[in-house]
Amino acid sequence: MTDAIIELKGVERHYVQGSRKLTILNNADFSLKRGEMVALVAPSGAGKSTLLHTAGLLEKPDAGDVLLAGRACGRLSDDERTAIRRNDIGFVYQFHHLLPEFSALENIMMPQLVRGLSVAEAQGRAAQLLDYMKIGKRAHHRPSELSGGEQQRVAIARAVANAPLVLLADEPTGNLDPVTASYVFEALEALVRQSGLSALIATHNHELAGRMDRRVTLAEGKVVTL
């Protein structure tokens, strides 16, 4: 069994703007080990989101392949990729994207219900995660009734509700003030470490990046270790 949970092998991603072809990923290689927490640090426009979306099977590579736990996924059908994302990959974004009409508890239940868990199972798991993130008392509040830090902790709990193999986060603390960002990252880090998750986290915060196992960046479309 491979030690890597995600591997990018010779991945290329191109976009066309008018008559121009923009190369974002250029024969990029990357490996995320099991239980590893890696910071992706790069300036805006360098391709961080493209790398995360490709690694997370939201975008297909134009060339090369993406392997998840040793399984080649780059050429799978949309339905197959959707099933893998639902079960094995958790996403956290800069904005929480919580469903406004549902409570914190219900937001975390949703992906579990889609996967086929019973209401009781989903509710129990959601309550445990909220307690773990230290916002159990806010379970029945809607997103508009939560602070920014609370909203993001709910989003993190939702991302791991189905016990994925890997967590991909795109500037998860980018909208928060420094104190709140540190507090949210501590909760995220504790969750990753204690659950054995693998995590690739894009961040502009060099202090937070320094707390991870290693840092990588993007240079001329390639993933480079810092």
Cβ pair 155, 104 in contact under 8 A:
no
> For residues 176 and 102, which has the higher predicted lDDT (pLDDT)?
102
4 contact partners, CB below 8 Å, separation of at least 6: 31, 32, 33, 34, 67, 70
- pLDDT above 80: residue 188: yes
Indicate the pTM of the whole model.
0.90
Task: Output the average pLDDT for the chain.
Answer: 91
Residue 68 pLDDT class (50, 70, 90 cuts): very high
The CATH classification of domain 36-59+82-225, taken from the options 3.30.1370.110, 3.30.70.1150, 1.10.1740.10, 3.40.50.300: 3.40.50.300
Query: Which tokens belong to 37?
Result: 């927490």
Residue 200 clears pLDDT 70, i.e. is over it: yes
For residue 2, the model assigns a pLDDT of 65
Residue range 89-126, pLDDT digits in tens: 999 988 888 999 999 999 999 999 998 999 999 999 99
Is the predicted pLDDT of residue 132 greater than 70, yes or no? yes
Domain boundaries, the chain: 36-59+82-225
Sorting pLDDT into bands at 50, 70 and 90, what band is 183?
A: confident
Choice between 101 and 184, residue whose per-residue pLDDT is larger:
101
The torsion angle over the Cα atoms of residues 146, 92, 181 and 215, rounded to 10 degrees, is 180
Tens-digit pLDDT profile for residues 164-173: 999 999 988 8
